[in-house]
Amino acid sequence: MRPSGRKTDQMRKVSFERNFSKHAEGSCLVKFGDTHVLVTASLEEKTPPWLRNSGKGWVTAEYGMLPRSTHERMRREAASGKQGGRTQEIQRLIGRSLRAVVDLQALGERQISIDCDVIQADGGTRTASITGAWIALHDCLKWMETRNMIKVEKVLKDHIAAISCGIFASQPVIDLDYLEDSSAETDANFVITGSGGIVEIQGTAEGAPFSEDEFLTLLGLAKTGCAELVELQKQTIA
């Protein structure tokens, strides 16, 4: 039995609150149960140096956790003077995932900076970030379309969503919360497009190694879960 009483293939309640921020071109407060992430998408007219005069744009992401988003207060990264390895790993993942569904040529020589700030953490912050970032990115592109800068359908090629699956108490389950995550034997994150293409897989054995069959079960759960998330995205922007 899962601590939350959920079924093995049951995700937490997921919600998207659009336009959460007054200033950002696109923004979304995404909730996967008690995991709450504020995502903003900021349009910037500058691009990274290596893209100058290439005609191509860029989508990048930064990730942070508020110090008391967690059970125990964590040290503030701005105070300790650097972003930790986990933070960098996650923000690189978010950026890659979004770029997989963006036509950078069609975006033109501009950068969209995605900021994912975890307001409250209960497991799955990176998957909630990616899934919510798609909404913020979409709304930022809509904002640009209104100003005749781009066509959303040219730039945004597909949906993208992410979910974690893992083996908890010997059972493959979807969307691990903190209690499950901290004692799972295997933990895997999947990033999947609206058309079912796989963009990222990250699987880690926390305890004993896992088998190909176990992994395929997790992948199966993830495909169903991401399809649900994409459906929710569609309803949200409808």
b/e burial code for range 144-162 (CB count within 10 A of at least 16 → b):
beeeeebebeebbebbbbb
Q: Which of 7, 54, 55, 68 binds its own copies (CB under 8 A)?
A: 68
Report the binding-site residues for phosphate.
Answer: 86, 124-126
Residues 100-129 that bind its own copies (CB under 8 A): 100, 113, 115, 117, 119-122
**Spatial separation of the C-alpha atoms in residues 20 and 229, rounded to whole Å:** 19
Q: Which of 34, 103, 185, 228 binds its own copies (CB under 8 A)?
A: 34
**Spatial separation of the C-alpha atoms in residues 78 and 90, rounded to whole Å:** 17
**Spatial separation of the C-alpha atoms in residues 236 and 17, rounded to whole Å:** 9
Check: CB of residue 140 under 8 Å from CB of residue 26: yes
Q: Which of 49, 50, 85, 146 binds its own copies (CB under 8 A)?
A: 85
Report the binding-site residues.
Answer: 86, 124-126
Please tell me the count of residues contacting its own copies according to CB under 8 A. Answer: 65
DSSP E strand boundaries for 130-205: 160-168, 171-174, 186-193, 198-205
Give me the residue label for tokens 């459906």.
231
Among 8-16, 61-69, 167-175, 228-236, which window interacts with its own copies (CB under 8 A)?
61-69
Q: Which of 73, 151, 154, 234 binds its own copies (CB under 8 A)?
A: 73
Give me the residue label for tokens 């949906």.
159
In the complex with its own copies, which residue's Cβ is closer, 14 or 38?
38
In the complex with its own copies, which residue's Cβ is closer, 85 or 238?
85
Binding of its own copies by 183 (CB under 8 A): no
In the complex with its own copies, which residue's Cβ is closer, 209 or 238?
209
- The SS3 call for residue 189 is strand
Q: Which of 12, 21, 176, 177 binds its own copies (CB under 8 A)?
A: 21
Contacts of 29 (CB under 8 A, 6+ apart): 16, 17, 20, 36, 37, 38, 39, 119, 132
CA atoms within a 13 Å half-sphere pointing along the CA-CB vector of 90: 23
Q: Which of 199, 221, 226, 230 binds its own copies (CB under 8 A)?
A: 199
Binding of its own copies by 147 (CB under 8 A): no
Q: Please give the residue ranges that form the binding site for its own copies (CB under 8 A).
A: 21-24, 27, 34, 38, 40, 42, 44, 62, 64, 66-71, 73, 76-79, 81-89, 91-92, 96, 100, 113, 115, 117, 119-122, 188, 192-193, 195-205, 208-212, 215, 219, 223
